[in-house]
Chain A
Amino acid sequence: MTTLLTVEKLSKRFGGLQAVNEVSFSVTAGSIKALIGPNGAGKTTLFNLISGVITPDSGVINFCGDQVQGFRPHQVATKGMARTFQHIRLFPKMSVLENIMVGRHIHSRAGFVAGMLSIPYTWSEEKHIREKVHEIMAFLDLESLADVEATSLSYGQQRNVELGRALACEPKLLLLDEPAAGLNMSETTELGALISRIRDTGITVLIVEHDMGLVMDISDEILVLSYGKKIADDKPLAVQSNSEVINVYLGEDEDDA
């Protein structure tokens, strides 16, 4: 088993708040790793650190053999990391097809001059982009919506478009930020199955999620954060019976805290 992502002693402070405090963990290639913790535990901060949105104060992020801390988000994306957002961030005034086509950006190369002159190689490139996007839309059952404006869709469909856009990057690592938020139970079950299918295509998944049922169902490993610190990093069953995790979630032994 090779490790795809290794995080070592990562820290980030916002003013007086130590949002992430010397967190270390690794993600095995081809697995689903979940990141859980109570509100304010630093999950989203950790996500933003890994994807380059914010730069860490200290620590090392090793992705595919390269140190990527301090990289800009687009550089991290080029390395093979794609993400979805906690609050869906689709491109308005663009169709589902176009939204997902943007995901092919790093796998195509037509620049300003080639685009303006419509040089023949751009035509075949566009054709390849469309083929790949149709493949992804078929995978996510979005083909009938290809020409619909993406932001006019239902919440669940928008989630899928956002997922499709991330998959179009053909990432090695897919970061999902609370993908089940706002979904009902049957939709959540479907989403779980979908994430497992994505993992089966060879994409490693790191997921932040509040829905414990979903997390326990699909994860190979679970990392638990509390007040910016790692308190557990283990298999789902072991995490479930970990006393510190139970304390954090159920608020027992308050004098401990």
Chain B
Amino acid sequence: MSTKFMQISGFAAAIVAIQIFTQITDSSFHLTQLTMTAYYSLLVIGLCMLIGYAGQISLGHAGFFAIGGYISAFLTTHNLTSIKGKPLIALLSKFGLLVEGKDLYGGGLLAFQPWVACIIAVCTVLIVAYIIGGPVLKLKGHYLAMATLGFGIIVYRIVLGTAGLGAADGISGVPGFTILPGVTIGGSGSGKIMNYYVAWGILIVGITLLLNLISSRVGRALSAIHGAEDAAEAMGIPTANYKLKVFVLSAGFAAVAGVFLTHYNGSIGPSEASVMKSVRYVAIVAIGGMTSLWGAVFMSLILNYFSLRGSFGTYDDAVFGVILILIMLFAPDGLIRTQVLGDLKSFFKRSDSKEATL
């Protein structure tokens, strides 16, 4: 309990320190990328729970992220003015679920409240994850990877091919999301610094929830499933049920991340659903050490930040692919460990001795 508290406080202090640093050095433009990084990290920690702790792979999490983001974007931008008179719309309006405003051209805009859109988006993702998770999680290893990859591709092709979702352009003009009075994610007039703290605050809440879960009865059961599924089953753990639940949970994290980032950016495009995004998230979990939530957060912070700053240029996706290969070859337990150098040495020693015997 206390170490958990210390870790989280230390992390929060680092977040504050980074903000103060950008303030002093007059480089607060970095905060935009750092804010986006926080939302991507929210997806990464959920995926870390699924891959690292429960031992189930998913190459389709960008799909859940995109479903969440797209539904929220669509509902908050789709103009219902022309069907205002319909009883259903009138009813929704009466309950305060809709909001009136102006569109880009100054015309009347009637759309869903962001919080309504958010709830619908996240619930839809949970339902989708539940429906596909049931049959898909019966598969193991490569087969599970292939099936989730297939899901990711389907989502990508759907958002890319649907005119109502803006096809290749995606959806823009997504309004800000007022989560508390005076606290708005994205939108015009909301501060960079506030958005930065809101994003990292949400991530800290996510981390806290998952750290609690890891040290709980369920966390032990998930590790047990990862380690020896038959033995876990023999201890009375309903393994299929737990795998499905952790899959849905991680999809939920992806959906929340997708919704918030879409509102923050004011837009979402089909690239968010692309398979390379899913590969990137898996690469970050792998380099962070699979079973280390903090490792995943740390690597997500560094890699997403550099990626968003454009440091990898046009080789962005290639960089993450290479990272995944290198990690699997040299440090399958991730980089955030002390024995990395030893592993490298022993790897080269092994290849030397192989050559010697040839």
Q: Which residues of A contact B (CB under 8 A)?
A: 51, 53, 72-74, 77-78, 82-83, 85, 89-94, 98, 101-106, 108-112, 114-118, 122, 125-126, 129, 165, 169
Inter-subunit contact B234/A77 (CB<8 Å): yes
- Supply 18 A–B pairs (Cβ within 8 Å), ascending by A: A72-B233, A74-B238, A77-B234, A77-B235, A85-B231, A90-B227, A91-B231, A93-B223, A93-B227, A102-B221, A105-B221, A105-B236, A110-B216, A111-B218, A115-B212, A115-B216, A116-B216, A118-B212
Q: Does B219 count as interface, using CB distance less than 8 angstroms?
A: yes
Q: In the complex, which residues of chain A have a beta carbon less than 8 angstroms from the beta carbon of B14?
A: none
A-contact bits for B229-241, CB 8 A (1 contact / 0 none): 0111111111100
Q: Which residues of B294-334 have CB atoms within 8 Å of chain A's CB atoms?
A: none
Asked, given contacts A90-B228, A91-B228, whether A110 binds B223 with beta carbons under 8 Å apart, the answer is no
Given A83-B234, A91-B231, A104-B217: 15 more A-B contacts, CB < 8 Å: A73-B234, A74-B234, A77-B236, A85-B230, A92-B228, A93-B227, A94-B227, A98-B220, A98-B223, A102-B221, A102-B235, A106-B236, A112-B246, A115-B216, A169-B236
Inter-subunit contact B223/A91 (CB<8 Å): yes
Inter-subunit contact B227/A92 (CB<8 Å): yes
A-contact bits for B110-126, CB 8 A (1 contact / 0 none): 00000000000000000
Most buried by B among A91, A110, A125: A91
Q: Does B249 count as interface, using CB distance less than 8 angstroms?
A: yes
Q: Does B224 count as interface, using CB distance less than 8 angstroms?
A: yes
Q: In the complex, which residues of chain A have a beta carbon less than 8 angstroms from the beta carbon of B212?
A: 115-118
Inter-subunit contact B213/A112 (CB<8 Å): yes
Q: Which residues of B234-280 have CB atoms within 8 Å of chain A's CB atoms?
A: 234-239, 245-246, 249
Q: In the complex, which residues of chain B have a beta carbon less than 8 angstroms from the beta carbon of A98?
A: 220, 223
Q: How far is the CA of A137 from the CA of B231 in the complex (A)?
A: 19
Q: In the complex, which residues of chain B have a beta carbon less than 8 angstroms from the beta carbon of A105?
A: 217, 220-221, 235-237
Inter-subunit contact B223/A73 (CB<8 Å): no
Inter-subunit contact A117/B227 (CB<8 Å): no
Output the least CB separation between B27 and chain A (Å). 36
Q: In the complex, which residues of chain A have a beta carbon less than 8 angstroms from the beta carbon of B227?
A: 90-94
Q: In the complex, which residues of chain B have a beta carbon less than 8 angstroms from the beta carbon of A102?
A: 220-221, 224, 232, 235, 237
Asked, given contacts A85-B231, A93-B291, A94-B227, whether A101 binds B220 with beta carbons under 8 Å apart, the answer is yes
Q: How far is the CA of A101 from the CA of B216 in the complex (A)?
A: 11
- A74, A92, A117: which contacts B239 (Cβ < 8 A)? A74
Asked, given contacts A89-B228, A115-B213, whether A169 binds B220 with beta carbons under 8 Å apart, the answer is no
Q: In the complex, which residues of chain B have a beta carbon less than 8 angstroms from the beta carbon of A109?
A: 217
Q: In the complex, which residues of chain A have a beta carbon less than 8 angstroms from the beta carbon of B237?
A: 74, 102, 105
Q: In the complex, which residues of chain A have a beta carbon less than 8 angstroms from the beta carbon of B153?
A: none
Q: Does B24 count as interface, using CB distance less than 8 angstroms?
A: no
Inter-subunit contact B235/A165 (CB<8 Å): yes
Q: In the complex, which residues of chain A have a beta carbon less than 8 angstroms from the beta carbon of B224?
A: 91, 94, 102
Interface SS majority for chain B: helix
Q: In the complex, which residues of chain A have a beta carbon less than 8 angstroms from the beta carbon of B291?
A: 93
Q: In the complex, which residues of chain B have a beta carbon less than 8 angstroms from the beta carbon of A106?
A: 235-236
Q: In the complex, which residues of chain B have a beta carbon less than 8 angstroms from the beta carbon of A114?
A: 216
Inter-subunit contact B236/A94 (CB<8 Å): no
Q: In the complex, which residues of chain B have a beta carbon less than 8 angstroms from the beta carbon of A101?
A: 220
Q: In the complex, which residues of chain A have a beta carbon less than 8 angstroms from the beta carbon of B249?
A: 112
Most buried by A among B216, B235, B239: B235
Inter-subunit contact A74/B233 (CB<8 Å): yes
Please name the residue on chain B nearest to A92 by beta carbon. Answer: B227
Inter-subunit contact A112/B218 (CB<8 Å): yes
Q: In the complex, which residues of chain A have a beta carbon less than 8 angstroms from the beta carbon of B230?
A: 53, 73, 85, 89
Asked, given contacts A91-B224, A115-B218, A122-B216, whether A74 binds B236 with beta carbons under 8 Å apart, the answer is yes
- B217, B218, B223, B235: which contacts A82 (Cβ < 8 A)? B235
Q: In the complex, which residues of chain B have a beta carbon less than 8 angstroms from the beta carbon of A91?
A: 223-224, 227-228, 231-232
Q: Does B209 count as interface, using CB distance less than 8 angstroms?
A: yes
Q: How far is the CA of A77 from the CA of B20 in the complex (A)?
A: 55
Q: How far is the CA of A73 from the CA of B221 in the complex (A)?
A: 15
- A85, A89, A129, A165: which contacts B217 (Cβ < 8 A)? A129
Q: How far is the CA of A138 from the CA of B71 in the complex (A)?
A: 56
Inter-subunit contact B217/A94 (CB<8 Å): no
Q: Does B210 count as interface, using CB distance less than 8 angstroms?
A: yes
Q: How far is the CA of A102 from the CA of B237 in the complex (A)?
A: 9
Inter-subunit contact B235/A103 (CB<8 Å): yes
Output the least CB separation between A216 and chain B (Å). 28
Q: In the complex, which residues of chain A have a beta carbon less than 8 angstroms from the beta carbon of B216?
A: 110, 114-116, 118, 122, 126
List of 7 A-B pairs having minimum Cβ-Cβ separation, nearest first: A115-B216, A77-B236, A106-B236, A91-B227, A89-B231, A116-B209, A118-B212
Output the least CB separation between A88 and chain B (Å). 9
Q: In the complex, which residues of chain B have a beta carbon less than 8 angstroms from the beta carbon of A77?
A: 233-236
Output the least CB separation between B293 and chain A (Å). 13
Q: In the complex, which residues of chain B have a beta carbon less than 8 angstroms from the beta carbon of A115?
A: 212-213, 216-219
Output the least CB separation between B227 and chain A (Å). 4
Inter-subunit contact B218/A110 (CB<8 Å): yes
Output the least CB separation between B253 and chain A (Å). 11
Inter-subunit contact B236/A110 (CB<8 Å): no
Q: In the complex, which residues of chain B have a beta carbon less than 8 angstroms from the beta carbon of A103?
A: 235
Please name the residue on chain B nearest to A102 by beta carbon. Answer: B224
Output the least CB separation between A89 and chain B (Å). 4
